[in-house]
Amino acid sequence: MARLIVALIAGSLFGSGLFLSGMTDTNKVQGWLDVFGNWDPTLAFVMGGAILPMAVAWQFTRMPRKPVTGGSFPAPLDTKLERNLVLGSVLFGIGWGLAGLCPGPAIASLSYAGPGGLVFLAAMLTGMWLAPMLRARLDRVAQPE
């Protein structure tokens, strides 16, 4: 139960932050990416504002403590840079620029994005469903037997 309460609080803060910051407005996201157009720096303020409390939280995990609801903190940093990290990020970036939406805002804006928001979400969920199969295929290409 405690884990669910934490998840609800975290999701509520995330959702209200996405709403208030304007990150569910595709014009603001595409405006940030559009350096050759009317560039909008708002996204940098959002990123900076979000990184500050998170950096403090990461320091907390280095102390000899456990998460409040038990369990353990995430594994130490993975420093491996592989092809999928770059390839996936490039694919994500193309879609992000095209629609101006990433996964968080796609959920946060669902109540006011109209049919377009639902279409984007359905396509995104389909992509997420297909991804494990594509990743398995990519891995086979990487290591031919």
Q: How far apart are CA 17 and CA 109, in angstroms?
A: 12
Q: Which is nearer to other proteins, 65 or 144 (CB)?
A: 65
Q: How far is the CB of 64 from other proteins (least distance, A)?
A: 14
3-class SS of residue 40: coil
SS3 78: coil
- Please choose, from the candidates 30, 3, 22, 8, the residue with its C-alpha nearest in 3D space to the C-alpha of residue 94: 30
**Please, what is the minimum distance in Å from the beta carbon of residue 140 to other proteins?**
14
Nearer to other proteins, 68 or 145 (CB): 68
Residue (38 or 144) nearer to other proteins, CB: 38
Nearer to other proteins, 136 or 144 (CB): 136
How many other CB atoms sit within 10 Å of the CB of residue 108? 21
DSSP code for 100? S
Closest CB 144 distance from other proteins, rounded Å: 19
How many Å apart are CA 70 and CA 43, to the nearest integer?
34
Closest approach of other proteins to the CB of residue 83, in Å: 9
φ, ψ (nearest 5 deg) of residue 35: -70, -20
